[in-house]
């Protein structure tokens, strides 16, 4: 079994061409957020090949990250569309208020402006949790279930990992992952937590990515 142990920081034109060919052959990984949080795991490529990932603890794998093994073989990671809750609001201040309350509960959040938001302009996404959804509705925010590649923000103090973004490309794979979080959100956090999130897009999509 191939073991990929290094995350590439730069990709050459030759490697980009190789990844494009691998994508055509379904030789890439389509991974949900829960899997991408681990540094060591076994996964199945979209074509059905078992591979191993054994990385240093350098942060969550992002969609479009590229891994390499000791033989120089490449493997691209694509963020898998998964069931999430989408949050929009009638004005930016209300959405900011919702982000504060979610951040105060340490909920992984994706900030996005690339999907179709209608009049709202911006949206938040988090893994499904009906307790949190009810809280947001009580605050006057709009809640709906959807499925998108989930790329939550990384910590503000993590360098080199801040390209969290939503992918608008579509994958012709019939995967459905529904993540149910424990409903114990009664943490006694002091409401003085202020979590700053800075969202950035990048368009360096080399190819697109299946986890077992």
What is the per-residue pLDDT for 170? 36
Distance separating the N- and C-terminal Cα atoms of the chain: 14
Per-residue CA distances from 197 to 9, 35, 140, 158 (Å) = 23, 23, 22, 12
What is the per-residue pLDDT for 114? 57
DSSP state of 155: P
Q: How far apart are the C-alpha atoms of 109 and 111, rounded to whole Å?
A: 6
pLDDT tens for the chain, residues 1 to 212: 999 999 999 999 999 999 999 999 999 999 999 999 999 999 999 999 999 999 998 788 999 999 999 999 999 999 999 999 999 998 889 999 999 999 999 999 998 865 555 555 789 999 999 999 999 999 999 999 999 999 998 764 444 443 333 333 333 333 334 344 444 444 444 444 434 343 333 333 444 444 44
Helices (H), the chain: 13-24, 33-36, 92-104, 130-138
What is the per-residue pLDDT for 153? 85
């Amino acid at each position: 079994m191939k073991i990929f142990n290094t995350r590439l920081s730069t990709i050459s034109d030759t490697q980009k061409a190789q990844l494009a060919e691998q994508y055509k052959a379904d030789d890439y990984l389509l991974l949900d957020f829960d899997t991408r949080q681990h540094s060591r795991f076994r996964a199945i490529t979209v074509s059905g090949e078992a591979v191993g990932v054994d990385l240093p603890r350098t942060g969550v794998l992002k969609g479009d990250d590229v891994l390499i093994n000791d033989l120089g073989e490449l493997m691209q990671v694509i963020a898998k569309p998964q069931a999430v809750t989408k949050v929009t609001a009638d004005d930016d201040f209300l959405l900011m208020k919702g982000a504060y309350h979610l951040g105060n509960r340490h909920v992984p959040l994706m900030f996005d402006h690339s999907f179709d938001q209608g009049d709202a302009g911006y949206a938040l996404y988090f893994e499904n949790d009906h307790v949190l959804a009810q809280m947001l509705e009580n605050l006057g925010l709009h809640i709906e279930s959807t499925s998108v590649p989930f790329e939550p923000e990384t910590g503000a103090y993590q360098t080199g990992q801040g390209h969290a973004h939503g992918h608008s490309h579509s994958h012709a794979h019939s995967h459905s992952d529904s993540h149910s979080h424990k409903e114990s959100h009664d943490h006694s956090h002091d409401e003085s937590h202020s979590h700053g999130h800075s969202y950035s897009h990048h368009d360096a999509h080399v190819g697109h990515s299946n986890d077992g």
